[in-house]
Amino acid sequence: MKRFHQLSGREVEEWRKARMEAGREKYHNIDHKRYGIVDIAEEALDSLNIIERMIIRWSKDQFPISHRLHSKLIILWFLLEQVLEILDEIDRYLPDKVCTDEEGGERIWWSDEE
């Protein structure tokens, strides 16, 4: 089984580019009509949810979380919260005309709040 920690920086970059290309093939240029700040926020929120689910899975599998691993998870959680705060700051400087979401589709919660 392939493990993330075994990937080189070059391989991670190749993976990023492959994901970008797959996204372009699937969605073409609709990102030009999406609210990119919300796209990034959704990914950060999903990541926070994944961390929570990983911890639940590990506890069910009776995998003891060491102090070091716990510290790393706290740091990761903090960094993702920082991403959300930075997005908030960036969004404050953007004009409404670049924050449209015509191609955003039906977003979880976000679409209901508008």
CA distances (Å), origin 93, targets 68, 90, 99: 38, 6, 11
Q: Per-residue pLDDT tens for 80-91?
A: 999 999 999 999
- What count of other Cβ atoms lies within 10 Å of the Cβ of residue 89? 8
Local structure of 94: helix, strand or coil: coil
pTM of the model: 0.85
List the chain domain ranges.
8-105
pLDDT of residue 11: 97
Helices (DSSP H) in 1-114: which residue ranges? Answer: 9-27, 36-60, 67-93, 110-113
Q: Exposed/middle/buried for 35, CB within 10 Å: 0-12, 13-18, 19+? A: buried
Q: Per-residue pLDDT tens for 23-76?
A: 888 877 766 788 999 999 999 999 999 999 999 998 888 888 899 999 999 999
